[in-house]
Each structure stands twice: as structure tokens, then as C-alpha cells.
Amino acid sequence: MGVIDVEAPSALLAVSGADIVLLAVPVSATEATFKAIRHLVGPTTLIMDVGSTKRDVVDAARRVLRENVGSFVPCHPITGKEVSGVEHADADLYVGKQVILTPIERTFTVQLQKAVDVWTALGSHVVKMSPQSHDAAYAAVSHLPHLIAFALINGITSQEHGKEYLSLAGPGFHDFTRIAASDPQMWRDILIANREELLAQSKIFQQTLQNLEQLISSGSGEVLEVLIEHASETRANWRITSKPSPK
């Protein structure tokens, strides 16, 4: 397909002579990948990742890269698909999308600017935050929604007539559960890696759900409508942050 120019027999040799190294592996494989390449990582090498969690990735970089950890700029592009593989590649995947950078105190200023320049050149809108802030935010707006989608599908299919129910579902259900088709290994790693923040968000969600259930159970239609209206208006007024790609 012409996707790969030169195939390297190992991660270490792939890094040899590279100006930019992008790690696109499950987050649980990040530390092993750092170990495989660390001997050819120098102060002028820019290393980035695209993992959905950042604190665990940063901790792995500190342990393995040590004095060269400043070359690593943790990244999280806020885009993607529920399908994987080169056959689903999209040249415009990053255009107009956010990319979160989570530099640490030892990140080299030159490498950070280089990372900003690379993602900006791809048409992305770059945002910077701490690894801790990133993981807290994305537990709420990414990891929890995936957890709910997985649970919903499994909950329906565990019922006696679950397959029949699924056959009757419409576009709304399709849109709501799209992310349940995501890669199992990748999301297993993400949910475990960010479990503290995720479980905290899950508790908040469960309490909110219980409140709605109580209103339904008691027939409190007026209060229920107010809460639905609040959710409806919030969703209607929310827009994905994006920035036009450079001409």
C-alpha cells in the first residue's frame, strides 16, 4: 500500500538517526518501548506518544529515559475512530482537532516548541496542561463514556431477549454506543491505567443516575423535566473546540 518506506527489524533500529519518534502503542507497552529505544535517544531527539493517559506514561519516561527525559513530550490527539488498522487511515484525522501536550518540569523548551510546530503543521489546535489535569479531565469526558458504552452493550446482551432488543435499535442507539466497538486491548489498558480518576467519575455518574431514577420512581415529572432540560441545553450549546487548519 506504500504506507511504510523502510521496515526496521527492531524498535531500536527504527529510532536510529530519527529526528522525531512517535510512540503509537498501548499505554501498557510504553515502558517496554522506552527500554527498547533508550540507547539511541539523545538530547536532540523529539519523542512523543499518542496515549490516552498521561501520568503513567510520564512515570515510565522518568524511570527509563532518566537524563534524556527532557526529550519526551507527552501528547494526546483528541481524535480517532472506533476501528483500527491501516485500512482505516485518514489523512485529515488531525485537521481542526485538539492535541493535548502535557510537558513536565524537565521537558526541554526546544523539544516542546518542536512538538507544537509539528502538530500545528498537521492542522491541529495545540493545548497544554499538566499530566494530572489531563487524566482528571479525560476520565470524565472520554474514559467514563467508553466504560458506560461497554457496560450498556454487555447489559443488554446478557438478557434473554438481548439480541432481539439490539435488532430493534435505531440511529440514536447507534450513535450513543459507537465507541463500544473500540479496540479491547487499548481500552483495557486505558481504563486500568487511569482507574483512580475513572472510578471517581463513575461514582459521580452513579449518584446522578440514582437521582434521576428516584425522580422517575416517585413520578416527580416537573423536577425530572428541569434536569433533562439542563442536560439538553448544555449539550445543545456545547461545541467541540477546534481551529481551522492553516492554508
% of the chain exceeding 70 in pLDDT: 97
8-state DSSP, 17: T
Phi and psi based region of residue 2 (left: phi greater than 0; alpha: psi -120 to 50; beta: remaining): left
Mean pLDDT across 183-204: 95
Mean pLDDT across 40-49: 93
Residue 49 near residue 74, CB atoms below 8 Å: yes
Please report, as a single letter, which amino acid is at residue 124: S
- For the record, the C-alpha cell of 71 comes out as 526529550
% of the chain exceeding 90 in pLDDT: 87
**Strand 75-77 versus strand 98-101 pairing type:** antiparallel
Domains parsed from the chain with CATH numbers: 11-130 (3.40.50.720), 134-237 (1.10.3660.10)
Q: Distance between CA 37 and CA 12 in Å, rounded? A: 4
Residue 50 near residue 76, CB atoms below 8 Å: yes
On the CB side of 147, how many CA atoms lie within 13 Å of its CA? 22
**132 backbone dihedrals φ, ψ, rounded to 5°:** -65, -45
pLDDT tens digits, one per residue of 124-178: 999 999 999 999 999 999 999 999 999 999 999 999 999 999 999 999 999 999 9
pLDDT tens digits, one per residue of 65-120: 999 999 999 999 999 888 888 899 998 999 999 999 999 999 999 999 999 999 99
Helix, strand, or coil (residue 49)? strand
Q: Distance between CA 106 and CA 37 in Å, rounded? A: 19
Closest alpha carbon to 104 in 142, 75, 141, 145: 75
Q: Distance between CA 130 and CA 224 in Å, rounded? A: 37
Q: Distance between CA 137 and CA 133 in Å, rounded? A: 6
Residue 132 near residue 138, CB atoms below 8 Å: no
Quick check: pTM over 0.85? yes
Alpha helix (H) residue ranges in 98-194: 109-121, 131-138, 144-157, 162-167, 171-176, 184-193
Closest alpha carbon to 177 in 155, 205, 146: 146
